[in-house]
Chains A and B, each alone.
Chain A
Amino acid sequence: AQSVTQPDIHITVSEGASLELRCNYSYGATPYLFWYVQSPGQGLQLLLKYFSGDTLVQGIKGFEAEFKRSQSSFNLRKPSVHWSDAAEYFCAVGNSGAGSYQLTFGKGTKLSVIP
């Protein structure tokens, strides 16, 4: 069965600093990978996704992620963090088995931004 590990439960960065959130996955076939962001009391918003092709994918809000098959990783990056980026970030792997479209989520990384 597929799984997603986000090693960092909580990360704090200063505004303007760079950010990297780690994600490792376990999946037998070519993975479909996603990053979602959840603001407090809100639902999840898709930041970006990887299906195939270029291993560096661009998303909304200035985020990007790089797929590294050899490391089973899909880390999320942003060169300069804004205070509004404070939220919880979830990495997910998609599975098209069992006749439906299921996502397996990691436990999330909470990002705090210091002004």
Chain B
Amino acid sequence: NAGVMQNPRHLVRRRGQEARLRCSPMKGHSHVYWYRQLPEEGLKFMVYLQKENIIDESGMPKERFSAEFPKEGPSILRIQQVVRGDSAAYFCASSPRDSLGSPLHFGNGTRLTVT
């Protein structure tokens, strides 16, 4: 079984450009979570989605960030007008259920560098 697939692995953007990060969950998983890892920090929760629904976006910055998980295709994390402070590793995780008894499976992440 393929694991959680994220692409691209590395993404370089200039300030003001848009960044689009993709995540395909594991087969059979309908719950997707995005986390951000800043340098020297642990992962911070951003958003939780199910197919076509945002369930919890309490960790998402209010401006410039958006996420979707359409009926068909991967989940997308979109960052508009990127700034240097957006440079980080963005991890997607998936789960078959939204339950603490159902461990998260993480992708290898997308490393975003804003120049």
Contacts and interface: CB of A to CB of B under 8 A. Distances in A.
A104 B34 CA distance: 13
A100 B50 CA distance: 11
B107 interface: yes
B60 to A, nearest CB: 12
Contacts of B56: 98-100, 102
* Interface band, chain B: 20 to 34
Q: Tell me what chain A mostly uses at the interface: helix, strand, loop, or mixed.
A: strand
A46 B101 CA distance: 13
B1 interface: no
Nearest to A39: B108
Interface string A87-115: 00010101010111111111110000000
Contact of A51 (B58, B91, B93, B100): B100
B12 interface: no
A42 B43 contact: no
Given A99-B55, A101-B33, A46 B42 contact: no
A45 interface: yes
Nearest to B97: A101
